[in-house]
């Protein structure tokens, strides 16, 4: 079993939350000014205020997602367990659709692994931890490609059974 903990900074999350709330209020204030008659002829300004308000709401709402908090990943032989603030989620390797390794030019500084399981995406950052990244990526690709290879072999076996020529 391999464990990896991703620590998220609470100050960054709170800063985005406050900034989103500020943009939401500021955009609402702009809309109020334009519709209260201060500048009622400027539709572009009202549109701009609405966009600011929407973006502020987007920032505020998305700071409550589970990937904005600390997450611990456990990679076991048959499953991957993701422990987050709302509990834990268990994925078998059959449920994982894609595993992607993102390596920059200087791979010793950082690397990323993107895991897609259904609608969920998990981005695991590795700062100065190339060995841990390689170990986890090898573990994941071995388990996920094993599933895909079994499916291909079963599919080819079924096609061979249907393609046998009839004896005359």
Q: At how many degrees (to 10) do helices 10-35 and 43-62 cross?
A: 160
pLDDT at 40 over 60: no
Q: For the domain that residue 135 is a member of, what is the CATH number?
A: 2.30.29
The answer on 32 and 81 residing in a single domain is: no
**166 or 129: which leads in pLDDT:** 129
Residue 69 lies in a domain: no
pLDDT at residue number 143: 82
The answer on 46 and 86 residing in a single domain is: no
**Spatial separation of the C-alpha atoms in residues 137 and 130, rounded to whole Å:** 10
pTM to 2 decimals? 0.68
**Considering its fold, how many domains does the chain have in total?**
2
The answer on 155 and 106 residing in a single domain is: yes
Per 3-state DSSP, the chain is made up of helix, strand and coil in percentages (nearest 5) of 50, 25, 25
Domain that holds residue 42: 9-64
Which of 64, 85, 102 is the C-terminal boundary of a domain? 64
pLDDT tens profile 49-79: 899 999 999 999 999 887 788 888 888 888 8
**102 or 50: which leads in pLDDT:** 50
């Amino acid at each position: 079993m391999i464990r990896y903990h991703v620590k998220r900074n609470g100050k960054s999350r709170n800063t985005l939350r406050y900034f989103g709330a500020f943009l939401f209020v500021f955009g609402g204030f702009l809309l109020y000014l334009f519709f209260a008659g201060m500048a009622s002829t400027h539709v572009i300004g009202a549109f701009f205020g609405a966009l600011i308000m929407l973006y502020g709401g987007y920032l505020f709402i998305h700071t409550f997602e589970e990937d904005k908090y600390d997450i611990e990943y456990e990679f076991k032989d048959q499953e991957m367990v993701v422990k987050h603030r709302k509990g834990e989620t268990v994925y078998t390797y059959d449920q994982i659709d894609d595993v992607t390794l993102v390596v920059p030019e200087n791979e010793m500084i950082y690397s990323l692994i993107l895991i897609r399981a259904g609608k969920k995406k998990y981005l695991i950052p590795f700062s100065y931890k190339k060995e841990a990244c390689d170990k986890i990526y090898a573990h994941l690709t071995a388990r996920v490609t094993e599933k895909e290879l079994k499916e291909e072999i079963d599919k080819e076996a079924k096609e061979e059974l249907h393609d046998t020529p009839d004896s005359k």
